[in-house]
């Protein structure tokens, strides 16, 4: 996909020995749906800056609506897919955002790029003319859209979503924009100790594991607090692109004894990617979990629960699906979610929930006491697998 977002960059400063990192980590909104004819995974930032958030939300709403109103919906073996992801970079008083939209409808894939540059000081959007002298840009192909650009610590990326070749000869920044000064530089902290929870395993106990997919999100903190209050643990299958935004919550989660698993980088439907792309989705997530939390995940939950040969051989991670689906992404009623989670309690059950909804947190409050009352202990996936192994080999 990245090849399609052809990038042109101009180096204008030479700090290469430092890591750059946003000090500005926004909240992330997530919409994930899995219906009979479509798969949707949308992640977009909430900056708390009204003008930006309104614009992004309007764009997301429109794309979502257009996708749902698409024509000729067929029930194919490969469902139609909508995946939206973003990058955000802050420097001085500016925020640069790019929204990447990938669509696959009736096996035709399409990529859309939407970019925003916002001036925080003057509370307004800027276009490319505000930051560079566009008349000094030599564009070989007239179809290039100079309105679509993204600025990070090193480059200006000019996007072309139609894959035309183009070249920029020279860019000079306008003097009143000092994007090469005062960049927020932070070293990535590699000094975090991983917290190991070693229990003496009692293979006679009846256990159930609750798992949360698609987070972390703004609701994750509440969920780990509920788990702690009820003396329970769970396993969180996280999306790599959201780990940094909620790193404090995840660190706490690990400290409380919860387990973190890998749920891909941005929720692409893994079985539709090639081997290299699948590896990239998984490895990027492993890396960010390790670099941000000092934690090595050993579990993989493939997106939409779809597994094929390529997914199986893509990593050494243990693939973990589920056998109880609360459907909390679909059902708005807390009681309905509770009922789905607890109506058929059995030793070794793996329950699927999502830490991206407030209602899932509310349901969890009711689910834990019911499970415990029936004599089950709530454990992480790794504990459950170990206990199952001991039981099967007793």
> For Zn ion, which is the closer residue by CB, 214 or 383?
214
Query: What is the rounded distance in angstroms from the CA atom of residue 186 to the CA atom of residue 53?
Result: 26
**DSSP 8-state symbol, 118:** E
Query: What is the rounded distance in angstroms from the CA atom of residue 168 to the CA atom of residue 335?
Result: 58
Q: Cβ 303 to Zn ion, closest distance in Å?
A: 5
Q: Is 81 in the site for Zn ion (CB under 5 A)?
A: no
> For Zn ion, which is the closer residue by CB, 148 or 267?
267
Q: Do the Cβ atoms of 263 and 238 come closer than 8 Å?
A: yes
Each residue 191-230 as x (binds Zn ion by CB under 5 A) or -, in order, gives: ----------------------xx----------------
Query: How many residues sit close enough to Zn ion to count as binding (CB under 5 A)?
Result: 2
Mapping DSSP onto H, E and C, the string for 200-246 reads: CCCCCCCEEEEEEEEECCCCHHHHHHHHHHCCCCCEEEECHHHCHHH
Active-site residue 213, yes or no?
yes
Q: Cβ 237 to Zn ion, closest distance in Å?
A: 7
What is the Cα 371 distance to its own chain's centre? Answer: 30
Which residue has its beta carbon closest to Zn ion?
213
Q: Do the Cβ atoms of 149 and 157 come closer than 8 Å?
A: yes
> For Zn ion, which is the closer residue by CB, 47 or 220?
220
Residue among 273, 98, 287 at smallest CA distance from 188: 287
The HSE-up count of residue 379 (CA atoms within 13 Å, CB side) is 25
- From the list 157, 263, 267, 354, the catalytic residue is 354
- From the list 80, 152, 213, 355, the catalytic residue is 213
Among positions 347-386, residues that touch Zn ion (CB under 5 A) are none
Active-site residue 161, yes or no?
no
Q: Cβ 17 to Zn ion, closest distance in Å?
A: 38
Q: Token digits for 135?
A: 């008349």
Q: Cβ 228 to Zn ion, closest distance in Å?
A: 24
Q: Cβ 192 to Zn ion, closest distance in Å?
A: 26
Q: List active site positions.
A: 213, 354
Q: Which residues bind Zn ion (CB under 5 A)?
A: 213-214
């Amino acid at each position: 996909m990245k090849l399609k977002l052809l990038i042109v960059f101009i180096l204008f400063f030479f700090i290469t020995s430092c890591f750059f990192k946003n000090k500005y980590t926004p909240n992330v909104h997530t919409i994930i749906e899995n219906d009979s004819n479509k798969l949707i995974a949308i992640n977009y930032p909430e900056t708390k800056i009204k003008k930006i958030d309104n614009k992004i939300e309007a764009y997301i709403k429109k794309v979502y609506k257009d996708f749902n109103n698409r024509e000729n919906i067929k029930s194919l073996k490969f469902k139609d897919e909508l995946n939206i992801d973003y990058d955000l970079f802050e420097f001085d008083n500016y925020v640069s955002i790019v929204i990447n939209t990938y669509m696959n409808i009736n096996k035709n894939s399409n990529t859309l790029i939407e970019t925003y540059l916002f001036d925080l000081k003057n509370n307004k959007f800027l276009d490319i003319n505000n930051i560079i002298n566009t008349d000094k840009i030599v564009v070989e192909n007239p179809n290039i859209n100079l309105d679509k650009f993204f600025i990070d610590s090193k480059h200006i990326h000019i996007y072309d979503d139609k894959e035309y070749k183009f070249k920029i000869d020279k860019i000079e920044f306008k003097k009143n924009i000092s994007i090469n000064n005062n960049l927020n530089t932070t070293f990535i902290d590699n000094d975090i100790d991983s917290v190991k929870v070693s229990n003496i395993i009692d293979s006679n106990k009846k256990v159930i594991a609750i798992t949360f997919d698609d987070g972390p999100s703004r609701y994750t903190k509440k969920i780990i607090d509920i788990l702690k209050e009820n003396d329970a643990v769970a396993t969180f299958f996280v999306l790599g692109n959201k780990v940094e935004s909620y790193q404090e919550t995840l660190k706490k989660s690990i400290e409380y004894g919860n387990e973190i698993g890998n749920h891909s980088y941005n929720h692409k439907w893994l079985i539709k990617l090639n081997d290299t792309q699948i590896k990239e989705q998984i490895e990027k997530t492993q890396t960010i979990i390790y670099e941000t939390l000092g934690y090595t995940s050993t579990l993989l939950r493939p997106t939409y629960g779809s597994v094929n040969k390529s997914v199986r051989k893509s990593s050494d991670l243990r693939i973990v699906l589920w056998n109880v689906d609360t459907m909390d992404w679909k059902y708005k009623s807390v009681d309905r979610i509770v009922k789905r989670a607890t109506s058929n309690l059995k030793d070794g059950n793996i329950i699927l929930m999502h830490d991206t909804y407030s209602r899932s947190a509310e349901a969890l409050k009711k689910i834990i006491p019911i499970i415990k009352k029936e004599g089950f202990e709530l454990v992480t996936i790794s504990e459950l697998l170990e206990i199952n192994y001991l039981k099967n080999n007793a």
